[in-house]
Amino acid sequence: MTAVGIDAVEIWTGNLKLDLPGTFAPQKGEDPEKYTKGLGLNASSFPDSYEDIVTMGANAAHRLMERKGLAPDDIGRIDVATESAFDNSKPVSTYVAGCLEQVFDGDFHHANKGERKFACIAGTQSLDDACNWIRAGRNRGRGALVIATDTALYARGDAGEATQGAGAVAMYISEDPDLVELSTGQGYGSADETDFLKPNQQFPSVDGKRSVQVYLARMREALEDYESVAGDVHPDDVAFVPFHTPFPGMVRKAAMLAYRHVIRDTSIEDELAEEIGRQPRPEAFDSDEAYRDAMREYMDALKETAAYQEWYDATIDPTLSISREVGNWYTGSVHIARVSALKRALEDGREMTDEMLLVGSYGSGAQAEIHAETVQDGWEAEIEALNVEEQLEDRYDMSWEDYEEIHDAHNHDMDVDVEEFTTPESEFVFDGWGRMGERKYRYVE
């Protein structure tokens, strides 16, 4: 079977930055270490007043198409995954196509366009749809553009305000990809949950603590489901595990559960037994509560072992470096985790071709999905071509007053005009409203 997967990726961050320990925490009367150590975040990205999900998505896609020498004719499908859409009918992908048609010769009149919604997991679902479209032989030699773009803003004063972010990831999906091949084996954990939702409102209603528990429960189910089709996962077989990363502290919790699961009945569990005992098994306990207490104790001990810490440092920590600087990008978060890991591998001079990634996506509401990816031999050139650091450094560092203004400027219920903080250059910008309430965009040289 021909390999299908991600040929190329580009990211686009919102042009503003909020320093969480330095600017946000003092205003909230909080210890900066809640951010740096607890949530694992240094900063969040924000959109400037001329940016939105369309400009960020189109800018990422523009960079990607230019770098790969792609023309509109090479693209048979454009799917945008977002939970920040501003229209219940016209999909964001039509706006993105309109932007790209301003700068490329040709058009996307024969490309199928859509919009995917399932909280943060929609980016992975779009990726999956694109791969299936190609595997079904319906692509006529063309590839698919998948764009995950979000402005993850919360109401002022909501607990989620600590984990905001804004940015887009564009991916080109094709046969014989340069970056990663996706497995056909995948596992799901899915249930009707009320942890985070936006019932026709801009800012989410969120039960943050519950969303953490639902993430973990669904991810565990997805891992078990994945193993039921692909066989047991052994830690030695996996180079990196990019998880959906609303904030790195969430991934710390998911990683511990995953490690505990994959070492069960392996020589790693046997070797650790002398130090911390074997994992509790439910059948050895009279009640669920007693089992859960014993498991908590085991995990506290496991966390302190050199085996766990070495695995975490090698397999998980490298996936978090971009997230720490940008916050939550919702649909894009798991896709920047993959980029972070491969960037670290490149910096370390590590050979990654044929190595396996286990990718754990999650969307509130709620669903987790796990699949494997095999790194392809073009990965180094693909990752080398990214300008992530440059983009992060170029962001304008907002004061508290700037932040308050820009949050209001993006609040759909407020009508405030805010001067832009940065000067757009070689990018698409929001250019006002049309006669039917549509949004208009323009490319700035």
Annotated catalytic residue 244: yes
Is residue 249 part of the contact set for ligand COA (CB under 6 A)? yes
Is residue 123 part of the contact set for ligand COA (CB under 6 A)? no
Distance, CA of 145 to CA of 113 (rounded, Å)? 9
Whether residue 185 contacts residue 230, with contact meaning beta carbons closer than 8 Å, is answered with yes
Peptide bond into 366 cis (omega under 30): yes
| Residue 321-360 contact track with ligand COA, rule CB under 6 A, x = bound | ----------------------------------------
Distance, CA of 216 to CA of 337 (rounded, Å)? 18
Identified catalytic residue from 244, 371, 407, 410: 244
Strands (E), 71-177: 75-81, 112-116, 143-152, 165-175
> Which one of 5, 57, 72, 246 is in contact with ligand COA (CB under 6 A)?
246
Distance, CA of 338 to CA of 374 (rounded, Å)? 12
Q: Which residue is nearest to ligand COA (CB)?
A: 38
Is residue 34 part of the contact set for ligand COA (CB under 6 A)? yes
Identified catalytic residue from 120, 221, 405, 427: 120
Query: What is the spatial order of strands in the sheet that 396-397 belongs to?
Result: 43-46, 16-19, 396-397
> Which one of 118, 215, 379, 421 is in contact with ligand COA (CB under 6 A)?
215
Q: Give the residue with the Cβ less far from ligand COA, 9 or 219.
A: 219
Which among 267, 212, 273, 201 has a CA at the least distance from the CA of 234? 267
Residue 440 has which token pair?
Answer: 């208009």
Annotated catalytic residue 261: no
Is residue 250 part of the contact set for ligand COA (CB under 6 A)? yes
Whether residue 392 contacts residue 203, with contact meaning beta carbons closer than 8 Å, is answered with no
Q: List % helix, strand, coil for the chain (3-state, nearest 5).
A: 45, 25, 30
Q: Give the residue with the Cβ less far from ligand COA, 30 or 420.
A: 30
Q: Give the residue with the Cβ less far from ligand COA, 59 or 364.
A: 364
Is residue 397 part of the contact set for ligand COA (CB under 6 A)? no
Q: What angle do CA 278, 280, 285 make, to 5 degrees?
A: 145
Q: In whole angstroms, how close is the CB of 120 to ligand COA at the nearest point? A: 7
Is residue 38 part of the contact set for ligand COA (CB under 6 A)? yes
Q: List binders of ligand COA among 151-210 (CB under 6 A).
A: 159-160, 162-163, 206, 208-209
Q: In whole angstroms, how close is the CB of 230 to ligand COA at the nearest point? A: 25
Q: Give the residue with the Cβ less far from ligand COA, 251 or 388.
A: 251
Q: Give the residue with the Cβ less far from ligand COA, 4 or 241.
A: 241
Strands (E), 226-342: none
Q: Which residues contact 286 (CB under 8 A, 6 or more apart)?
A: none
Q: Which helix (H) or strand (E) holds 218?
A: helix 208-230
DSSP state of 422: S
Residue 445, classed as helix, strand or coil, is coil
Q: In whole angstroms, how close is the CB of 338 to ligand COA at the nearest point? A: 18
Identified catalytic residue from 83, 115, 221, 405: 83
Is residue 81 part of the contact set for ligand COA (CB under 6 A)? no
Residue 147 has which token pair?
Answer: 């764009």
Q: In whole angstroms, how close is the CB of 208 to ligand COA at the nearest point? A: 2
Q: What residues line the site for ligand COA (CB under 6 A)?
A: 31, 33-34, 37-39, 159-160, 162-163, 206, 208-209, 211-212, 215, 246, 249-250, 364
Catalytic residue annotation: 83, 120, 244
